[in-house]
Structure 1
Amino acid sequence: MSRSYIRHELSELEANLREELGQLLALHQLSIDSETLSLSALIDALTAARLCDEPLFIQLTQLDAAICQLDIGLYGLCADCEADIEAQRLTLNPLEQRCQQCAAEHAHEHRHELRLTH
């Protein structure tokens, strides 16, 4: 995938997430300008509004990370082992942060943590 194609895909995803965010903000009766604020400003505003547990918040933070990684030339590298993330994984989810092996290990560890805390 070319860098311009990835940027286009991330831009389309951002537009969709901003639309969903507008609906979420209306539901919570919040007046945050979801159309013109930068991603980092949106993330800060959602944090201040205590909406960090919303799946949309997580997607916005992942999108912000993916755009930053693209800007510095690290997009597509696993956050854990720094190997290339499989192309199929990135095609399915352009916000993917881990290769298949590290994702499986992370999921296993997270399930173990959940068992310990419940």
Structure 2
Amino acid sequence: MSRSHIRHELSQLESNLRIEIGKLALSKNISLDTQTSSLCELIALLTQAGLYEHPLFNQITQIDAALCQLDIGLYGLCSDCENEIEVERLDINPVEQRCALCSESHEHEHRQELRLTH
């Protein structure tokens, strides 16, 4: 997959997400300019509005991370082990941050963490 194709896919995801965040803001009576704000500004505005636990917040931060990684040449590398993320995983989810092995390990640790806190 070429760099321009990846950027195009991420941009499409971002556009769709901006629409969803706009709908969320309207439903919460929050004034957000989702179309002209940069991703960093949008993330800051969502944080200030107390929406940092909403799934859309997580999605927008993942897109921001993937775009930053693309810009610095680290897109497609696992955030834990720095090995290449499997192409199949990136085809399914272009904002994937972990290879299959690290993802499995992370999920296992997270499940353990949830058990310990409940």
Same fold (TM over 0.5): yes
Q: State TM-score, norm by structure 2.
A: 0.99
Can you list the C-alpha shifts for 1:63-101, whole angstroms capped at 9, x where unaligned? 000000000000000000000000010010001000000
Question: Counterpart of 1:20 in 2: which secondary structure?
Answer: helix
Q: How does 1:1-118 map to 2 (within 5 A)?
A: 1-118=1-118
Between the aligned partners of 2:34 and 2:91, the Cα distance in structure 1 is 26
How far 1:109 moved relative to its partner?
0.1
Point out where structure 2 has 5 or more consecutive residues left out of the alignment. Answer: none
The aligned length equals 118
Paired letter, 2:75: Y
Query: Sequence identity of aligned pairs in percent?
Result: 63
How far 1:43 moved relative to its partner?
0.2
Paired letter, 2:117: T
Q: State TM-score, norm by structure 1.
A: 0.99
How far 1:105 moved relative to its partner?
0.1
Between the aligned partners of 1:78 and 1:32, the Cα distance in structure 2 is 33
Paired letter, 2:44: D
Q: What do you get for the CA RMSD once the two structures are aligned? A: 0.4
Point out where structure 1 has 5 or more consecutive residues left out of the alignment. Answer: none
Paired letter, 1:34: T
How far 1:20 moved relative to its partner?
0.5
Instruction: Tell me which stretches of 4 or more aligned residues in structure 1 moved more than 3 Å.
Output: none
How far 1:30 moved relative to its partner?
0.5
